[in-house]
Structure 1
Amino acid sequence: MIYFMLFISFFRIGLFTFGGGYAMLPLIEKEVMNNKWMELDELVNFVAVSESTPGPFAVNVSTYVGSVVGGVFGAISATLGVVLPSFIIILLLAKCYDKFKESKIVNGCMNGLHPAVVGLIAAAALSIGKSVFHISTETIVSSSGVLTSIGIIIVSIFMLYKKSNPVWVICVSGLIGIVSGYLLE
């Protein structure tokens, strides 16, 4: 039963989300929290890990959630669920695209989806940001973690502004995080 729930949940997410993994993140978060499959902190930590692992973001997250909830078969169910809608839609669109590529209605729909994707990505950034930068009275120590995070953001923006390779940005950010983790503990 859990495998079917994982498949259906991630199938819905894959079916109703345009714009890739980051646009899916708010829906994944809602589904995971509603089903109590894992804690938000655990999901946020894996989002950070999936940023630096190869492969599509949505596939990495769905595979991880599926494996936590249902082991190997859970991972397979969730991954198939998130990938299958896109696969089916692309096959159908490829068949029909030549007929409709000049249509004003189709072009209008595609242009209308762009701001929606940006909104979904912004919602994901705010949601994850709230969790990452949350400071409570118990964890004031975490303020040094917040300062480190802000420092990493500034260094990353500077490196990207100077046209550094994104791989170097990821490596430097990870190194700063590891070093600050050891120094601030």
Structure 2
Amino acid sequence: MLLYLKLYYEFFKIGLFTIGGGLATIPFLKNLSESTHWFSNTDLVNMIAISESTPGAIGINMATYTGYLTGGTLGGVVSTVGLITPSIIIILLISSVLKKFKENIFVNAAFYGLRAASTGLIVAATIEIFKISFLHLNSINIKALILGIILFTLIRKIKINPIFLIFISGIIGIIFKI
């Protein structure tokens, strides 16, 4: 029972302080990994890959996956509920008040600052994903880096459907064990 309370509490905190969407949860999950040892950096990369490859919000998918790894099915449910509880509370409070303060200079300034904070969290997450995916024990995983460059180019230049790229990347990973 203590494990489930801890899962709820940890994901409640992540849900309360994560601003900027699911990718912004990655630095918090990395910190959670280091403080609890519930999952490794490899598990974190796998969570990101699975969360990005499945329907739904990445933050919720990652919370569910982490909870499942740590406490089974009930752990997945508890972690997910913990993550979404702060959002529900905050949205209910803000929506009742925001209409009155929509044009307030302080409210607009706060949202401006929150956008900067969420951008910083997403950039930090991107750097962590890059390090975990392409660097291993101070050496570069050349095959993964080449695949990443090719996929990035295909997405930016040719506009290939991301679902197709996810599917192909999975197959390439299986074949070449990237």
The 3-state SS of whatever aligns with 2:9 is: helix
**Unpaired segments of 5 or more residues in structure 2?**
none
The residue aligned with 2:155 is: 160
Aligned amino acid, residue 156 of structure 1: L
Aligned amino acid, residue 155 of structure 1: I
The 3-state SS of whatever aligns with 2:135 is: coil
**8 Å CA contact retained: 1:148, 1:177:** no
Deviation at 1:131, TM superposition (A): 2.0
Residue of 134, 146, 160 corresponding to 1:151: 146
The residue aligned with 1:11 is: 12
Single out whichever of 47-56 and 8-17 deviates more from structure 2.
Answer: 47-56
> In structure 1, what is the Cα distance between the partners aligned to 2:110 and 2:137?
43
> In structure 2, what is the Cα distance between the partners aligned to 1:114 and 1:57?
19
> In structure 2, what is the Cα distance between the partners aligned to 1:158 and 1:39?
30
Deviation at 1:112, TM superposition (A): 1.1
> In structure 1, what is the Cα distance between the partners aligned to 2:65 and 2:47?
8
The 3-state SS of whatever aligns with 1:102 is: coil
Q: TM-score normalised to the size of structure 1? A: 0.87
How far does the alpha carbon of each residue in 1:79-123 deviate from its partner, in whole angstroms, 9 at most, with x for none?
100011111111112111211111111111111111211111111
> In structure 1, what is the Cα distance between the partners aligned to 2:160 and 2:134?
26
Q: TM-score normalised to the size of structure 2? A: 0.90
The residue aligned with 2:83 is: 82
> In structure 1, what is the Cα distance between the partners aligned to 2:51 and 2:39?
16
The residue aligned with 2:27 is: 26
The residue aligned with 1:112 is: 113
Single out whichever of 8-17 and 47-56 deviates more from structure 2.
Answer: 47-56
The 3-state SS of whatever aligns with 2:70 is: helix
**8 Å CA contact retained: 2:134, 2:145:** no
The residue aligned with 2:3 is: 2
The residue aligned with 1:178 is: 174
Deviation at 1:128, TM superposition (A): 2.4
**Unpaired segments of 5 or more residues in structure 1?**
none
- % same residue: 39
The residue aligned with 1:100 is: 101
RMSD in angstroms over aligned alpha carbons? Answer: 1.8
